[in-house]
Structure 1
Amino acid sequence: MVQLALFPLNTVLFPGGELRLRIFEPRYLSMVRDCTRDNLPFGVCRILHGQEIGEAAVPAAYGTAARIVDFHVDDRGLLGIVTHGERRFHVEEPRLRDTGLLVARVNWIEPRCEPLQPEHALLASLLERMLERAGGLHAKAGPSLYDDAEWVGFRLCELLPLDDDERQHMLQVDNPHQRLQRLLELLPSMA
């Protein structure tokens, strides 16, 4: 187990994804300083109860480690950071520091690099077309990534119009083929 600072948000970050944040609360400014100084990630967990600002919110038990890859100060003097999602984790022992920062002991969930199954090939084709149109971080992904069931599933979870409850559920699914099957089942309702 490892200890992570947690940043509860009204969003779900997936491994390999990008998340841009504006930081202004003292507890999170301190967290960003410590993570940058020590080259550590922090944990992003979806908020189950509470708000992003103010008192500590109740986070989901599953989240993704976020590593800071860039930062800037905007026109209003607020710190902006760019993070990349790394590994999924399960929260075991959360505790609230006197600064209002939530920290927790977490167990890492190992990635599962498994080849795409033939019944999910349609999803890889759909993802490729979506990324060609959307551009961004994964627009020039190599062909080998489109054969990685976990990578395809996570990218589709980011791009498809899922609600946050469904995204959280998809983050918690350990089997990448089950995640893709659920997405395949949801597609007709998105048309």
Structure 2
Amino acid sequence: MADSLPLFPLRTVLVPGGSLGLRIFETRYLDLVRDCGRSGTGFGVCLILDGGEAGQPATPAMVGTEARIEDFGKSDDGLLTLLVRGTRRFRVRETHVRDNGLLVGQVDWLDPDPDDELRPQHGLLGSLLRQAIDQVGGEHADAPPARFDEAAWVGWRLAELLSVTHAQQQALLEEDDPHARLDRLLALIA
């Protein structure tokens, strides 16, 4: 049975474990944040395939990532700001639009990635990620060394950090096998 999940279509891809800063100004999304805060639930972030981030509901990609609110505040211009973290992936079965313009999906949750280690042919990607994080720092700078041997974690962090198109990021998000995802990443950097 599918679960109901409010959707927030964006011109970006959120991956599991990734963080995203948002500025909220539309009533439908202020309502969404209020509802998530009251119920302790998340919402779905999907790449926009057609349409815009504001105004009429956009057409979202059918695979997205649940976002959980980690922090919130107010910007200098008075807008609500959020820091969200990607958790689990989902596939949208169908959507409908609420009276306030919020897009809601009936979703099936995708299986979490297995706790597999990097295969020898992907060892380069673990080293590349370690070098990139050493150079740019950021929230993963203090990650335990063992994380750089985890196939899924390495794949998701590279999907965040590499300069690839949104369509390429979406293809990585839609890939269910972490080793196949790493193969795609190898092809992208080759």
TM range (shorter): over 0.9
Residue equivalent to 1:42: 43
- Asked if residue 116 in structure 1 is aligned to residue 128 in structure 2, the reply is no
In 1, the alpha carbon distance for the partners of 2:7 and 2:161 equals: 24
How far did residue 130 of structure 1 move?
Answer: 0.6
In 2, the alpha carbon distance for the partners of 1:39 and 1:164 equals: 29
How far did residue 73 of structure 1 move?
Answer: 0.7
In 2, the alpha carbon distance for the partners of 1:42 and 1:185 equals: 32
- 1:60-119: CA deviation from partner (whole Å, max 9, x where unpaired): 000000000100011111000000000010001211111100011111112122111011
Scaled by the length of structure 1, what TM-score is found? 0.96
The secondary structure found in structure 2 opposite 1:16 is coil
Correspondent of 1:168 among 164, 167, 170: 170
Q: 5+ unaligned residues in a row in structure 2: which ranges?
A: none
In 2, the alpha carbon distance for the partners of 1:40 and 1:92 equals: 20
Give 1:110's aligned amino acid: D
CA contact (8 A) 1:18 1:137 kept: no
- Asked if residue 23 in structure 1 is aligned to residue 19 in structure 2, the reply is no
How far did residue 159 of structure 1 move?
Answer: 0.6
How far did residue 144 of structure 1 move?
Answer: 2.1
Residue equivalent to 1:68: 69
Give 1:97's aligned amino acid: R
Give 1:68's aligned amino acid: I
The secondary structure found in structure 1 opposite 2:63 is strand
The secondary structure found in structure 1 opposite 2:29 is helix
Give 1:148's aligned amino acid: E
- 1:150-188: CA deviation from partner (whole Å, max 9, x where unpaired): 110011011111001100001000111111111112213
- Asked if residue 158 in structure 1 is aligned to residue 160 in structure 2, the reply is yes
Aligned residues: 188
Residue equivalent to 2:81: 80
In 1, the alpha carbon distance for the partners of 2:34 and 2:118 equals: 40
The secondary structure found in structure 2 opposite 1:95 is strand
Give 1:30's aligned amino acid: D
Scaled by the length of structure 2, what TM-score is found? 0.97
- 1:116-158: CA deviation from partner (whole Å, max 9, x where unpaired): 1011000000001111111112111112211211110011011
- 1:12-54: CA deviation from partner (whole Å, max 9, x where unpaired): 0000000000000000000001101111100000000000010
Residue equivalent to 1:177: 179
Runs of 4+ residues deviating >6 angstroms: none
Q: 5+ unaligned residues in a row in structure 1: which ranges?
A: none
1:128-143 aligned at under 5 Å gives the runs: 128-143=130-145
Residue equivalent to 2:93: 92
